[in-house]
């Protein structure tokens, strides 16, 4: 559990850096002023020492329309680190509702619960018009975690074909 959370923390930081330097791999633009980028950067370091301070900073950022998705993803990540899985799922879904498709990857990797349909069920119902690189990447994660290698690699190929970049 701790290893998975650490890997996702590193992935989140890498994705933020890539999107800041190269733009969003899905072709969507999330303009982020320098001050907001610094705020997210500072919050990342607070995850590990002062999560309450990080939460307060993220709540402030969630009031800024073009930063809501990123703020909700980060709040969900903090909830997941605190083993508040249900809250994390709600945060990731809020990020999706605000158009931040990066949340699919986090939602799909949450541990399944009996009272909540698996995130993969949500992925199957996504309209084809919204199937962007993050959608296919999330499908890839879900399939690979369940040992369906061929399906996972096919979905990863579709993510790359749709514009997912890793540099």
Instruction: Give residue-wise pLDDT tens across range 57-115.
Output: 888 888 888 889 989 999 998 998 889 988 999 999 899 888 888 888 888 778 766 55
Looking up residue 61, the CATH number of its domain turns out to be: 1.25.40
Work out how many domains the chain is built from and give that number.
1
Sequence-distant (≥ 6) Cβ neighbours of residue 92 within 8 angstroms: 72, 73, 76, 103, 106, 107, 110
Residue 166 inside a domain? The answer is no
What 3-state class would DSSP assign to 109?
A: coil
| Rg, the chain, Cα only | 15
Neighbour-count burial of 158, counting CB atoms closer than 10 A to its CB (0-12 exposed, 13-18 middle, 19+ buried): middle
Residue 167 inside a domain? The answer is no
Residue ranges making up the domain that contains 38: 2-161
Instruction: Give residue-wise pLDDT tens across range 13-45.
Output: 545 544 444 444 444 444 455 555 555 656 666
């Amino acid at each position: 559990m701790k290893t998975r959370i650490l890997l996702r923390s590193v992935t989140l930081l890498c994705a933020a850096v890539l999107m800041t330097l190269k733009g969003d791999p899905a072709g969507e633009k999330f303009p982020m002023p320098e001050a907001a980028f610094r705020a997210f950067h500072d919050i990342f370091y607070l995850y590990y020492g002062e999560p309450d301070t990080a939460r307060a900073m993220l709540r402030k950022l969630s009031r800024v329309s073009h930063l809501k998705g990123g703020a909700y993803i980060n709040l969900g990540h903090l909830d997941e680190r605190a083993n508040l899985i249900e809250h994390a799922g709600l945060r990731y879904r809020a990020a999706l509702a605000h158009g931040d498709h990066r949340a699919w990857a986090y939602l799909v990797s949450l541990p399944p619960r009996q009272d909540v349909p698996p995130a993969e069920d949500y992925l199957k119902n996504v309209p084809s018009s919204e199937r962007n690189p993050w959608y296919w990447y999330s499908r890839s994660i879900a399939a690979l975690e369940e040992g369906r290698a061929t399906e996972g690699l096919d979905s990863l190929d579709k993510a790359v074909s749709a514009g997912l970049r890793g540099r």
